[in-house]
Amino acid sequence: MSGKHAPQNDLDATARALVAGDRVALGRAITLIESAKPEDQARAQILLENLLPRTGRAIRVGISGVPGAGKSTLIDQLGLNLVAKGKKVAVLAVDPTSTRSGGSILGD
């Protein structure tokens, strides 16, 4: 494999792994997407464009509120209900109070 094509092949492999449900690939993809490096941002954009046609009927839901409002309880119960119906669920939680990053991303 030549160095010129290795980055695209790597992104293709990551996309295939994500579609197959590989959680390690998901962690790598999240790290790539949240990176502030311009070269990572460009690669993340390519990865997302590759995956977008494969999202099928995926639904994204945003939940926000003050601390103690019950967001985690709601997300937990919603996830349990969807899994019980045979659906796949992914949770990305952004903690804007993170003193280190100003917006830490947590994935489940």
Q: Which residue has the higher pLDDT, 59 or 106?
A: 59
Tell me which range, 2-16, 33-47, 49-63, is most confidently predicted by mean pLDDT. 33-47
pLDDT in tens, 7-26: 678 899 999 999 998 989 98
Contact 50, 15 (CB under 8 A): yes
Q: Looking at residue 102, what DSSP letter applies? A: S
Class of domain 1-58: mainly alpha
Q: How far apart are CA 51 and CA 49, in angstroms?
A: 5
Domains of the chain, residue spans = 1-58, 60-108
| CB neighbourhood size of 98 (10 A) | 12
pLDDT tier at 95 (50, 70, 90 boundaries)? low
Strands (DSSP E) found in 19-103 = 92-95
What is the model's pLDDT at position 2? 42
